[in-house]
Amino acid sequence: MKKEKGLLLVLSGPAGVGKGTVCGALRQEETSVQYSVSATTRAPRAGETDGVNYFFKTREQFEKMIEQNELLEWAEYVGNYYGTPIDYVKETINQGNDIILEIEVQGALKVRERFPEGVFIFLMPPSLAELRNRIVGRGTETEDIINKRMTVAREEIDMMKKYDYVVENDQVELAVERIKSIVTAEHCKRERLIDKYKELVEVN
């Protein structure tokens, strides 16, 4: 019987909604879910390992990956490139393993263009007031930056119509349970299983 492929889970939402916290909690509970390793041109920090934390590339290597369409998405941030290698994602799901990509909304929409069979989950705050409280609570942003983030958040929330699922992050534990339910349902979808079970009804 054919082996079932894994899922590419794409988790995104506005800044401050708790993507990293939810993603980390999900991976603690579902240890089989692998984290998508990004490629970057920035130098490794102390304790970072190539292929574990990032795939560390030279600028020339990264630009060659862009030219050869080897990235699901990429962006340049503070003078360095960051991106998601498509081969790593494909190898992981072909081995039957689920992989999660935690990413900003614009990046997620780029991934959807390249990999429409992914499972796209939009993480929502309970309210805009709560989202603002979370950003303020970080204590790292000026009032002007907070206001800009809130403007962008409203625009991003309007993009939820391009996602498959919406999960409210009112409590991390509940958000994780909802995502686990989505993963279970996706693995039971007819179109994912039909090839695997075809041989049961094939006439020899």
Binding residues for ATP: 13-20
Strand 80-85 versus strand 71-77 pairing type: antiparallel
Counting other chains too, the contacts that 192-199 makes at CB distance below 8 Å and 24 or more residues apart are: 192/4, 192/5, 193/4, 195/2, 196/1, 196/2, 196/3, 196/4, 197/1, 199/1, 199/2
Q: Which one, of 120, 119, 91, lies nearest residue 187 by Cα?
A: 119
Q: Which residues are annotated as a binding site?
A: 13-20
Residue pair 74/80 in contact by the 8 Å Cβ criterion? no
What's the 3-state SS for 125-172?
CCCHHHHHHHHHHHCCCCHHHHHHHHHHHHHHHHHHHHCCEEEECCCH
Instruction: Find the helix packing angle between 172-187 and 19-29, rounded to 10°.
Output: 60
